[in-house]
Structures are given as C-alpha cells and as structure tokens.
Amino acid sequence: MSTIQTINPATEEIIASYNRMHPEAAKEKVDKAHEAFLSWRTRSFEDRAKLMHTLADLFEEKTEVYAQLATEEMGKTIAQSRGEVEKCARICRYYADNAASLLANTSVETEAKKSYVTFQPLGVLLAVMPWNFPFYQVIRFAAPALMAGNTCVLKHASNVQGCAFKLEEMIEEAGFPQGVFANLNINSDSVKEVIEHKHVKAVTLTGSEPAGRSVAAIAGENLKKTVMELGGSDAYIILEDANIEDATDLATFGRLQNNGQTCIAAKRFVVVEEVYDEFLTKFTEKMQSKKMGKPTDEDTYYGPLARIDLRDELHEQVQKTVSQGARLVIGGSVPKQKGAYYPATILAEVTPGMEGFDNELFGPVASVIKAKDEAHAIELANNSNFGLGSGVITSNRERGERIALQLEAGSSFVNKLVVSDPRLPFGGIKNSGYGRELSGYGIREFTNTKSIWIE
C-alpha cells in the first residue's frame, strides 16, 4: 500500500502521512454511498436542511481549527483561510434554506389533466477537487448535491488530505447518515475505475484543463454527465474613464488573493493606452508594498504557493514570457529561502502569443496589456482559449454593462472582482469548462429533469 505525505509549503516540513486507499476499498465506499442513497433520497428537504444547518454550525464553531489546517496544508494566509471556512457555512445555510424552492415542481400548461417538471436526484456523485480552496471547493459541490438527495464520494488533491478527511469527519459529526459522504484517498490512476463504477452516476471536477479533458473523456465513454470548472486567464479591462486608484486596488488584491492561486483571479489587465502608464506605475507601487511572508502571520498579505514544483513551473512561465519580449517590471526571481515563495511580479507589454497572455499564470504574477481603445480592449480580452471570469473598470456603469455583455466568459463583473455567490450560477465557457455550480442552475445540474404527464 502506497503512502502520501502532506507538506507545509511555507516551511517544507512534513505535516502527516496517509495510506492510499486500495481501489477495491474505494469501490466498497461507492457501494456504501449507493446504499445510503436509497434511503437518503426519500428524506424530506426539512430533514436534510436540519443536518445542513448543523454542518454550518460546525464550520462557525471551529473556524479557527479548520482555518489553521487549510493554511498549514496549502499556504493561504490565515485571514483568508478563516474567510473560506466562514463562506462554507454560508453556502450550507443557503442551500438548507433554499433547496426546496429551487427544486420545486414546475407546472406546465399542456393538453394533459396535469403536467409538470420535477427534479429528482441521480445517485452517487464523484467529485474530483483541487487544493486551492480545500474546504470551499468541496462544500460548493457537496451542499447542493446532498440537499438534492444525492450522495457524494470525494477524490481530493493529495496535498490537502488533512482537509479531506476533516470534511468527512465533520459531515458525520453533523449527523448525516453513514455513507452519504466519503473521502476516497486514492491515486489519480484509480479515478478511472471509480468513474466506471456502475453506481457512480455523474462526475464534477474543478482543476486544470488537462485533468478536465482526461476525466471528461472517461465519463463520456461511460455516458455519465460531467460538470467541469477548469482554468482561467481572466481579463480585466481598464478604460480611460476609470478611477485608477480604485482600479489598482482591485488589481492588486485580485492578483495576490489566495497567493495568486485562484481560477477566477484577475490575471490579464487590458489597459487602454491613455491611462496605461499611470495604471502601471500605481499598480507597481501597490504590488511592491504588499508583504510576502509566513501565512500564519496576521499582517502577511500573501504567502507561498502550494508546492515547490508549482512555484518552479510558474517561474519558468515568467522567464518564457520575458524571453518572448515582455518587460519584467518587478519580481520574477525565486527567493533564496525555504518554502514555495514567489514574489509579486508584473509583466508589461504582454501581447498575444506570449506565455503570459495565452496561458494561465497560477500565482502572484500579473500580465499588463496595452489596448489602443475600447474595441481593441474587448478584442484582446476575448483573444483567449479560456472563458471563466472577466471584468470592466469604468466610471460609466452603462458603458461597463454594454462591454460586459460582449466579453466571452461565464461571469463578467463591472467595477468589482469576480466572486462566486450562491445566488448566482458559476462556471465557464471555452477551455474553462462547462456546466454550472451554485444557484438554482447548479443544484439542478445533478438531478433528473423529469416530465410528468397525467391524462
């Protein structure tokens, strides 16, 4: 039996070792999840909601414990870890309070005596989740899935197995029946067998584009539905009428939030030439002023990347972009210290065809791009294989809305960074994936939309 180790990215110290689950044991967990589904699907929304509120209580009561674990395993600042745990509680309460209405039968006028659409759970769902929001990414999927009457098995990232097992423990502690949620600590190579298991009815994945393609291909061969939330290279357009002080505040937080490791983080800043120099100067000052340090220190603005190999890959991307003609404004060097640290970095004069334009930079690195005018800015923003989030910074809301409607992405925000909100659907287009999470659209993704006709 193989083992894996979780490693603190700030210190490079080993946190814990875990035995990998044998594929046969994983299949048994799926079987138990199916058995649990047969009774769980019959429970009322009211019964499910009580347990979901209890889970929310646990998140709130033990925020500091869970936040410390997330920070230790993947390096996000302790303040942002607390925010993640608190957001989990809000998601749980949102679906506890709204699942019944979101999944209510919808009457349809036909020639029948009675006809309507109903939404019924599918069964066991497999979630393949990433490390960057080790609690929230799972709850974002699990809360609506469980409230809809499905059961869940989780393949979490190897470097956050402490969080994965803690989630399994919490859901059991909240009173959910045995088997309703299970952590499968399996190798990536074993995911195929789980997808192919007869009791797994659908798969959701949040992660990289290559991982999404692989999982979607296996699921497709087995005719199982998938929802994919993949990478992003979100473009934010800064227009000449923007408040540059506000724009650079947003840009700085957007690029350094979660140590730069957020799919919907602002990554490409498309600035019209009239304010390009002013934006770049103020942006540089603010990025330089933010403290990189221990994620457990309260005054740290951003910490290390989640792993050394990820830091090294990011550095290679920065070097490649510079070799292709971009200008390195600040950062761009690996610190001589322990930990997966990488400094706030700005690449200017980035153009299509460069690494920093075409591909996702998953870390505290910003690409600043000059546009001739509004039309050119929209063209540059849409010149991407990704389409997760996007934004427009302008003093004219109507103008911002008009541009937002033209941006090719699952979300477009005006004068605000893209955020996920349980009341709104979340997901992407193009190589950023398909399907939606959150809101009524998300909870219905993993239900059977069934027509009922009574003559």
Q: Which residues are catalytic?
A: 229, 263
Q: What is the radius of gyration, based on Cα positions, of the chain? A: 22
Q: Taking Cα atoms as reference points, which of 71, 25, 20 lies closest to residue 306?
A: 71
**Distance in angstroms (rounded) separating the CA atoms of residues 274 and 239:** 8
Q: What angle do CA 414, 144, 438 make, to 5 degrees?
A: 10
**433 phi and psi, to 5 degrees?**
110, -165
**Distance in angstroms (rounded) separating the CA atoms of residues 452 and 91:** 31
Q: Which amino acid is at 245?
A: E
Burial of 22 (0-12, 13-18, 19+ CB in 10 A): middle
**Distance in angstroms (rounded) separating the CA atoms of residues 209 and 191:** 16
Alpha helices in 14-118 (DSSP H): 23-40, 45-61, 63-74, 78-102
Which residue has 């997760």 as its token pair?
A: 388
Handedness of CA 200, 205, 210, 211 (dihedral sign): negative
Cα dist. 88→53, 63, 366, 412 in Å? Answer: 11, 10, 28, 23
Find the helix or strand (DSSP H, E) in which 254 lies.
Answer: helix 244-256
Q: Taking Cα atoms as reference points, which of 224, 263, 290 lies closest to residue 428?
A: 263
**325 phi and psi, to 5 degrees?**
120, -5
Q: Is 225 helix (H, G, I), strand (E, B) or coil?
A: strand
Strand 327-330 and strand 345-348: pairing?
antiparallel
Q: What angle do CA 4, 8, 9 make, to 5 degrees?
A: 110
**Distance in angstroms (rounded) separating the CA atoms of residues 59 and 138:** 13
Cα dist. 158→73, 161, 163, 216 in Å? Answer: 10, 6, 10, 20
Q: How many CA atoms does the CB half-sphere of 44 hold within 13 Å?
A: 3
Q: 200-223 burial, b for 16+ CB within 10 Å, e for fewer?
A: bbbbbbbbebebbebbbebbeeee
